[in-house]
């Protein structure tokens, strides 16, 4: 027995509630739907479930615009459903982590409704307001993650308010003690109901520069620059990662640890040094590093994006690894789509599963789902000027069965259409096939669980003569991925414990003949072996 916290070896699952399963027959995923399918998570080998927001919301940003942080939105169920979910997940030894949307509220939140009426209102200072610049324009050059200025003018009181996302998501003022107190209360409310932790949304963004100084400009913007280019045109010195943010993490972590709960933060920064700063001084138990989702399928690019956060952050917290998410195109599609995309996505998942830290599968990843095509008439995401840059494609509903509406709902329509591959990729058909993507993910997670107990946390990257291989060693464990399309022959010593193609062990006769073996690693294949 060790004294490590329970989340130390956990495998996470990122569940996008609207698209997981509909238990009430209205075409939208909900809490009863999650309860109905907990067996899937148990079968897969998940121990930590992170659920996207289910709070009262006008749903302008899919629920990341909250009007009441302690109420369940009727679209998603009731408090009784939530309690049942906690009970039933715990009965299956699955921890439940909920989203803490703390950077902003909905503009319809009662606080903001009051705050916008007058500069003297007692809620005014719970948001970030500033007078116009001398030319009447926004107070500084900050841009929204969703594109355009981060400021909207409130004519009634002659001031601008800040929103790092939509104008319907005004940013809270984390320098105001009343805001801190309110979130302490929200956290305790859910911990008392039995949740096992929080995933802080936009953790890097909470506190802003006291003087609201403009950010240094890195590039001059093209007029047609999309939201990502706009964001990257600035050095985000003043709008994100202010040192006071770490104090908030520490404060929340102290509360969480009283309940043996985990504090996870979404740390959406492109740079490993900035990530290390957010992890500094033990602020977060787990920091989600999102840059893997921006890497090409290339051994050097992957090595740099995987090694950066581990090397820089030292001993502070753990890295949360995501190969796909609710906000980014799915890995299968990013890596070329079809069978090749699926093999590459699984190989990436293998690297993430064996690196020190916590891997999070994004719902549907275990099925090898591709990005869905959502035509203009069906688009829901407020972000992106076209279907390609919006986030609907990674949020299409889960296909559970081969029956009507893929077992997702009893309604005739779903809130977003199914992806084109839903028919062939359902859970039902994959569970019947021991060579399916689902079977391989299950096997991967079982291997992680079996092999990583007490594994050496130190990662030693392997240097290969062969081009296109990426790999690392942790104690006796070795993980190697061939990113090329060609077979590569390498000498390995040891016993295979996971093979993403599930054939290698038979072909080379391992583990019965440990010793130097010339093993073929095919294009996009991942192998994990214990060295001798």
- Catalytic residues, by residue number, are 201, 266
DSSP 3-state of 492: strand
Q: Would you say 17 or 256 has its CB closer to ligand BGC?
A: 17
Among 292, 326, 351, 438, which residue interacts with ligand BGC (rule: CB under 6 A)?
Answer: 326
Contact between 165 and ligand BGC by CB under 6 A: the answer reads yes
What is the per-residue binding string for ligand BGC in 88-107, x denoting contact by CB under 6 A? Answer: -------------x------
Instruction: Note whether 157 and 116 are within 8 A (CB).
Output: yes
**194 closest CA partner among 100, 48, 284, 85:** 85
CA distance linking residue 512 with residue 289, whole number of Å: 39
Contacts (CB under 6 A) with ligand BGC, residues 399-458: none
Contact between 381 and ligand BGC by CB under 6 A: the answer reads no
CA distance linking residue 506 with residue 497, whole number of Å: 12
What is the per-residue binding string for ligand BGC in 249-288, x denoting contact by CB under 6 A? Answer: -----------------x----------------------
- DSSP readout, 149-199? BSEEEETTTTEEEE-SS-TTSPBB-TTSHHHHHHHHHHHHHHHHTT--EEE
Residues 6+ apart with CB under 8 A from 124: 114, 115, 118
Q: How far is the CB of 125 from ligand BGC (least distance, A)?
A: 22
Contact between 327 and ligand BGC by CB under 6 A: the answer reads yes
Contact between 171 and ligand BGC by CB under 6 A: the answer reads no
Q: How far is the CB of 326 from ligand BGC (least distance, A)?
A: 5
524 CB neighbour count, 10 Å cutoff: 25
Indicate the residue whose CB is closest to ligand BGC: 64
The torsion angles phi and psi of 173, rounded to 5 degrees, stand at -95, 100
Q: Would you say 81 or 327 has its CB closer to ligand BGC?
A: 327
Contact between 392 and ligand BGC by CB under 6 A: the answer reads no
Contact between 61 and ligand BGC by CB under 6 A: the answer reads yes
Q: How far is the CB of 493 from ligand BGC (least distance, A)?
A: 43
Q: How far is the CB of 142 from ligand BGC (least distance, A)?
A: 15
H helix or E strand, kind and range, residue 306? helix 299-313
Q: Would you say 279 or 427 has its CB closer to ligand BGC?
A: 279
Q: Would you say 73 or 201 has its CB closer to ligand BGC?
A: 201
Size of site (CB under 6 A) for ligand BGC: 9
Sheet holding 159-162, edge to edge: 129-130, 159-162, 151-154
CA distance linking residue 95 with residue 468, whole number of Å: 38
Q: Would you say 81 or 201 has its CB closer to ligand BGC?
A: 201
The torsion angles phi and psi of 24, rounded to 5 degrees, stand at -115, 0
Q: Would you say 202 or 246 has its CB closer to ligand BGC?
A: 202
Contacts (CB under 6 A) with ligand BGC, residues 201-220: 201-202
- Is the peptide bond prior to 511 cis by the omega test (within 30 degrees of 0)? yes
Crossing angle of helices 299-313 and 338-354, in 10° steps, is 20
Q: How far is the CB of 388 from ligand BGC (least distance, A)?
A: 17
Interface positions with ligand BGC (CB under 6 A): 61, 64, 101, 165, 201-202, 266, 326-327
């Amino acid at each position: 027995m060790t004294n490590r916290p329970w989340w130390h070896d956990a495998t996470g699952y990122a569940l996008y509630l609207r698209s997981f399963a509909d238990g009430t027959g209205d075409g939208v995923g909900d809490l009863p739907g999650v309860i109905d399918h907990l067996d899937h998570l148990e079968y897969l080998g998940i121990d930590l479930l992170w659920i996207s927001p289910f709070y009262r919301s006008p749903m302008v940003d899919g629920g990341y615009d909250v009007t009441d942080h302690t109420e369940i939105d009727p679209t998603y169920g009731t408090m009784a459903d939530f309690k049942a979910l906690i009970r039933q997940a715990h009965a299956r030894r699955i921890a439940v982590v909920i989203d803490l949307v703390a950077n902003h509220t909905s503009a319809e939140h009662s606080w903001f409704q009051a705050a916008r009426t007058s500069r003297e209102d007692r809620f005014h200072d719970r948001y970030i307001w500033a007078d116009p610049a001398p030319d009447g324009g926004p107070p500084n050059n900050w841009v929204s993650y969703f594109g355009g200025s981060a400021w909207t003018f409130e004519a009634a009181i002659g001031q601008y308010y800040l929103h790092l996302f939509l104008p319907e998501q005004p940013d809270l003022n984390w320098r105001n003690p009343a805001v801190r107190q309110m979130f302490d209360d929200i956290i305790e409310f859910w911990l008392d109901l039995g949740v096992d932790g929080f995933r802080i949304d936009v953790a890097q963004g909470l506190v802003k520069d006291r003087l609201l100084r403009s950010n240094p400009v890195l590039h001059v913007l093209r007029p047609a620059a999309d939201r990502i280019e706009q964001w990257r045109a600035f050095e985000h010195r003043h709008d994100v990662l202010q040192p006071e943010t770490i104090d908030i993490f520490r404060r929340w972590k102290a509360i969480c640890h009283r309940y043996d709960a985990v504090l996870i933060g979404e740390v959406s920064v492109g740079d490993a040094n900035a990530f290390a700063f957010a992890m500094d001084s033990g602020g977060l138990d787990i920091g989600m590093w999102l840059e893997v989702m921006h890497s090409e399928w290339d051994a050097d690019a992957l090595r740099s994006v995987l090694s950066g956060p581990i090397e820089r952050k030292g001993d502070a917290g753990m890295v949360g690894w995501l190969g796909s998410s609710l906000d980014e195109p799915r890995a299968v599609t990013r890596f070329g789509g079809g069978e090749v995309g699926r093999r590459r996505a699984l190989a990436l998942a293998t690297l993430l599963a064996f690196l020190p830290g916590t891997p999070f599968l994004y719902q549907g990843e275990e099925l090898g789902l591709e990005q869905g095509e959502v035509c203009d008439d069906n688009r829901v995401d407020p972000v992106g000027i076209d279907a390609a840059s919006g986030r609907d494609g990674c949020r299409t509903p889960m296909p559970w069965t081969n029956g009507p509406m893929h077992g997702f709902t009893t309604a005739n329509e779903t809130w977003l259409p199914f992806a084109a591959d839903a028919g062939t990729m359902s859970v039902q058909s994959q569970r019947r096939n021991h060579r399916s993507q689902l079977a391989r993910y299950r096997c991967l997670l079982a291997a992680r669980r079996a092999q990583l107990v007490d594994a050496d946390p130190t990662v030693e990257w392997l240097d290969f003569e062969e081009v296109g291989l990426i790999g690392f060693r942790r104690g006796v464990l070795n993980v190697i991925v061939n990113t090329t399309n060609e077979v590569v022959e390498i000498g390995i010593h040891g016993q295979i414990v996971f093979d993403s193609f599930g054939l290698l062990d038979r072909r080379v006769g391992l583990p019965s003949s440990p010793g130097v073996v010339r093993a073929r690693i095919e294009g996009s294949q991942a192998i994990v072996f214990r060295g001798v």
